[in-house]
């Protein structure tokens, strides 16, 4: 389901809580506030069980469904009543013309998750950005057991389906690595 940039711009201006689905990638709906849109990408801050989570940059072409239903309207109201709505970072800005632009804008110490969810097998990399150009992204890959691989892992930009920063998941690892650095 393709939607116009004007439609997405209206959702952003209205601070609308939406649900999106990427049917070819995941059957589940993702609830989020859209923050910015470019020709090919949309930046969202997503919501999980009434908790504001991190930022996700998605390819527009992967989004199969956009929904603003009564549940979204009601849950936005609940987020406001609970004071959680104020945690949404509507003023967050980053370059989103391309995944490399976004990744190059990050601090060299910021952890990121870069995913290639449509390749076989799907791939997820968590770490800091080693490099990012128009064709390839290299991530200083951190394993799940606190070590970093010696050589950055490469991923073709054409295969990237999403990037995430500042999620609860990433923040736990970030704090761990910050403690190790002290």
Q: For residue 97, is pLDDT > 80?
A: yes
Residues of the chain above pLDDT 90, percent: 82
Q: Which CATH number fits domain 99-181: 2.30.30.520, 1.10.3720.10, 1.20.120.1200, 3.40.50.1820?
A: 2.30.30.520
Q: For residue 55, is pLDDT > 70?
A: yes
For residue range 14-47, what is the model confidence (pLDDT) as tens digits? Answer: 999 999 999 999 989 999 999 999 999 999 999 9
Q: For residue 12, is pLDDT > 70?
A: yes
Which residue matches tokens 């606190």? 146
pLDDT computed for residue 177 by the predictor: 77
pLDDT computed for residue 34 by the predictor: 97
- pTM of the predicted model over 0.95: no
Say whether domain 5-87 belongs to CATH 2.30.30: yes
For residue range 110-155, what is the model confidence (pLDDT) as tens digits? Answer: 999 999 999 889 999 999 999 999 999 999 988 766 667 678 999 9
**Ranges of each domain in the chain:** 5-87, 99-181
3-state secondary structure of 182: coil
* Residue 31 · residue 19 · CB < 8 Å: yes
Q: For residue 182, is pLDDT > 80?
A: no
pLDDT computed for residue 129 by the predictor: 96
Concatenating the DSSP letter of every residue in 117-143 gives TTSSS-EEEEEEEEEE-SSEEEEEEBP
């Amino acid at each position: 389901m393709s939607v116009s940039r004007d439609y997405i711009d209206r959702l952003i201006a209205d601070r609308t809580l939406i649900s999106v689905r990427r049917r070819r990638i995941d059957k589940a709906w993702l609830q989020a506030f859209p923050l910015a849109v470019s020709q090919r990408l949309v930046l969202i801050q997503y919501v999980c069980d009434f908790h504001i989570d991190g930022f996700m940059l998605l390819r527009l072409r992967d989004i199969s469904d956009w929904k603003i239903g009564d549940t979204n309207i009601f849950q936005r109201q609940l987020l406001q009543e609970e004071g959680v709505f104020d945690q949404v970072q509507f003023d967050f800005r980053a370059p989103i013309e391309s995944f490399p632009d976004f990744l190059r804008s990050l601090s060299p110490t910021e952890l990121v998750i870069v995913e290639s969810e449509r390749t076989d097998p799907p791939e997820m990399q968590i770490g800091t950005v080693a490099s990012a150009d128009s064709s390839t992204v290299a991530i200083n890959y951190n394993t799940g057991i606190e070590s970093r691989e010696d050589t950055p892992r490469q991923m073709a930009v054409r295969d990237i389906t999403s990037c995430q920063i500042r999620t609860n998941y990433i923040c736990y690892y970030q704090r761990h690595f910050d403690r190790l650095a002290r």
